[in-house]
Amino acid sequence: MNDMSLSMLIGILVAMLFLSAFFSGSETALMALNRYRLRHLVKLKHAGAIKAQRLLQRPDRLLGMILLGNIFVNTVAASVATIIAIRLYPEHEVNVIIADAILILVTLIFSEATPKTYAAVKPETLAFPSAWVYVPLLKLFYPIIEFVNIFVSLLLRLFRVDVKKHSLETLSKDELKVVIAEAESIMPPRYQKMLMGILDLESATVEDIMTPRNEIVGIDLEMPIEGIIEHIKTSAHTRLPVYKKSIDRIVGFLHLRNVLVLINHEDFDKQIIISLLSKPVFIPDTTPVHVQMVKFKSEKIRIGLVVDEYGDVQGLVTMDDLLQEIVGEIITDDSMVRIQSDGSYLVDANITIRELNRSMQWDLPTEGPKTLNGLIVEFMETIPEAGTSIKLNGYALEVLKRDEMSVKLVKFLRKP
């Protein structure tokens, strides 16, 4: 190098700094690639993505190649900078130290921080083109890299790490929820809720989504036939449980489609209703939602009564209830949660915790009480009076209405 001109030395120094920036930036870019998007691009036959995925299958070889290149260019750059300093100021040895210090600063800014920051923000822009460079370089320097990796592998085995078994880590359910929640800008809220509902199927039971016992609408055979006919004509449901005095004495389920064609006949009576009933189905309250969906489909039924461990009826669940756990309410009921001008929310205390969490993106506990009323009563160990303010799992609320048996209306303050 002593025979080279000063301008040539400066040119080599600039080239080394540029190559150092390339190695540093491409390392960050390749490691920062979204592995799931990379798989998607590979399926689309993206050439750069295919090469990048091939490189990332053996990160030890890739990093070995990058470090080999980076060490080489940085060593050459330091040597050239020293020669340039001696050429310019041959009588002052301290200038060599100054030149090295300047080189460190320039390398830090232009060959490390800047390219790595850019690569972290836009990894694909640098990763895919650099993959075309690294594939032939790996073939060219394969013996050297393999020799180095032998010692690297031996050292890593001391920590029980096998680089050859490196694989893409899978996302947990909670991590996948975070990914879906952060996709707000590219995914409509309705589809977000549907995906969240699918992820929650495994943890949800029929008890979480059933119509509670006190809200079951059915036909009591002890009623006069005129009252039963009027009830059938005005029912908003297509299937009704039929019982005697109490839902615990269930006789069967009536599909209104089968009875409406007969209801105006003169000989229509309770025996005709009984003859049209389907056998009642009983579902343990601990049955997972996804399991019950499969049972409904395989047994070709759409409605059942939910019972506890003692056999007492706790509620009613339909196929529509199960589907709504995924797609949300088929008919949206905005009266359950109403936002106020001051940012607070008026919430019907009969709303289920799962529905409230899903609609508001909150994280109230779902283990234990199923409704907001139940959660408040369990927390207070009594039915609180109207005007009572509490902090429930970090959410400040005020009880606005109650009756003798339960809380009816709650005001949630804006969460800080």
| Predicted local confidence at residue 166, as pLDDT | 54
Can you tell me the mean pLDDT for 313-327? 84
Distance, CA of 190 to CA of 200 (rounded, Å): 15
What CA–CA distance (Å, rounded) separates 280 from 250? 7
Residue 410: per-residue pLDDT: 92
Q: What is the third-level CATH fold of 337-412? A: 3.30.465
pLDDT the model gives residue 335: 65
The residue length of the chain stands at 416
Instruction: State the average pLDDT over residues 133-141.
Output: 90
> In the predicted model, is pLDDT for residue 129 greater than 80?
yes
DSSP element (H, E) containing 392: strand 389-392
Q: What CATH topology corresponds to 206-327? A: CBS-domain (3.10.580)
pLDDT on residue 161: 73
Predicted pLDDT of residue 146: 85
- Domain span(s) for CATH 3.30.465.10 in the chain: 337-412
- Of the CA atoms within 13 Å of residue 7, those in its CB half-sphere come to 0
pLDDT at 405: 86
- Is residue 345 within 8 A of residue 412, CB to CB? The reply is yes
Q: Would you call 285 helix, strand, or coil by DSSP?
A: coil
Query: 3-state DSSP call for residue 247?
Result: strand
Confidence of residue 167 (pLDDT cuts 50, 70, 90): low
Q: What is the DSSP letter of 165?
A: G
- Record the tokens describing residue 150, joined without a space: 């032998």
Q: What is the share, in percent, of the chain residues with pLDDT greater than 90?
A: 25
pLDDT at 84 over 50: yes
**Contact 21/108 with Cβ under 8 angstroms?**
no
369 — pLDDT class (breaks 50, 70, 90): confident
pLDDT tens, 7-30?
888 898 899 999 999 999 999 999
In terms of Cα–Cα distance, which of 342, 334, 341, 390 is closest to 359? Answer: 334
Residue 328 has pLDDT above 70, yes or no: no
pLDDT band per the 50, 70, 90 thresholds, residue 344: confident
Per-residue pLDDT at 250: 92
Mean of per-residue pLDDT scores for the chain? 84
Highest mean pLDDT among 88-92, 213-217, 261-265, 350-354: 213-217
Q: Residue 387: pLDDT above 50? A: yes
- pLDDT one-digit tens code per residue, 38-66: 888 999 989 989 999 998 888 888 888 99
Written as one letter, the residue type at 165 is K
* pLDDT, tens digit, 9 for 90 and up, residues 90-111: 666 566 777 778 888 988 999 8
Q: How far apart are CA 157 and CA 166, in angstroms?
A: 13
Which pLDDT value is given to residue 315?
Answer: 92
Q: 193 with 328: CB under 8 angstroms?
A: yes
| CA–CA dist 171, 182 (Å, integer) | 15
Distance separating alpha carbons of residues 391 and 386, to the nearest angstrom: 15
Contact (CB, 8 A) for 304 and 283? yes
Q: Amino acid identity of 356? A: L
Give mean pLDDT, residues 337-359.
84
Q: Among positive and negative, which fits the CA dihedral 124, 127, 130, 134?
A: negative
Helix axis angle, 47-56 to 35-43, nearest 10°: 130
pLDDT at res. 332: 44
pLDDT of 331 higher than 50: no
Q: What is the pLDDT of residue 416?
A: 46
CA distances from 138 to 64, 65, 202 (A): 9, 7, 46
330 falls in which pLDDT band (50, 70, 90)? very low
pLDDT band of 2, cuts 50, 70, 90: low
CB 7 within 8 A of CB 64: no
Q: CA-based angle 299:302:304, to the nearest 5?
A: 95
* Residue 359 scores a pLDDT above 70: yes
CATH 3.10.580.10 positions along the chain are: 206-327
Could you tell me what percent of the chain has a pLDDT over 70?
92
Question: What mean pLDDT do residues 151-168 have?
Answer: 71
Calculate helix-pair angle for 59-88, 6-32, nearest 10 degrees: 160
User: Using 50, 70 and 90 to split pLDDT, how confident is the model at 322?
Assistant: confident
The distance of Cα 202 from the centroid of its chain, to the nearest Å, equals 14
> In which order are the strands placed within the sheet that holds 219-220?
219-220, 239-244, 246-255
Q: Residue 83 has what pLDDT?
A: 83
According to DSSP H, which parts of 141-209 are helical? Answer: 142-157, 173-181, 189-200, 206-209
The CA distance from 208 to 315, in Å, is 10
